[in-house]
Structure 1
Amino acid sequence: MAFVITSPCHNEKSAECVEVCPVDAIHPGKDMYYIDPDVCIDCAACETACPVRAIYPEEEVPEGEEKYTLLNKEFFSQTF
């Protein structure tokens, strides 16, 4: 399981999550940050640091926010 950044982060990019990630799993995209599911160690540091409450465990992404799980996977399949 990895964490997913959802719509409250879109156009926000506060970066507190990036600063606390111990494994550098969070990368900037054009409009928001994304969490690399292959690097994420599920420590939840990013979830608690997020000032806009946009980060959820993949299995707990709120209803209506599922597209962000797909966007995250697409970002890393195309970028890295």
Structure 2
Amino acid sequence: MSNIDDQISQTRERLRDLQAKARKLERRDDTRRKILYGAAVLKLAEELEGDKRKRLYARLHDHISREKDRKFLGLQSDAQDQQ
């Protein structure tokens, strides 16, 4: 009986390891997807002219809500935007 319990324990541990590996791969793929889409949007913005470019950046800036990210990009804080 102890042998079966050991096998069950080992199998559960292997399952946890595989689940952790799957989560890591999902995060990696999500990060890569964000980088690729971000690069595509930046390339698109370079190709736009004047007012269209400004409107695109304004719309993008509206979706950046983390204060740390806004500061990094040189944007006004959300509190300043709402005044």
- By the TM > 0.5 criterion, same fold? no
More strand by share: 1
Higher relative contact order (CA 8 A, sep 6+): 1
More helix by share: 2
TM superposition score category, shorter chain reference: under 0.3
TM-score, normalised to structure 2, is: 0.25
TM-score, normalised to structure 1, is: 0.26
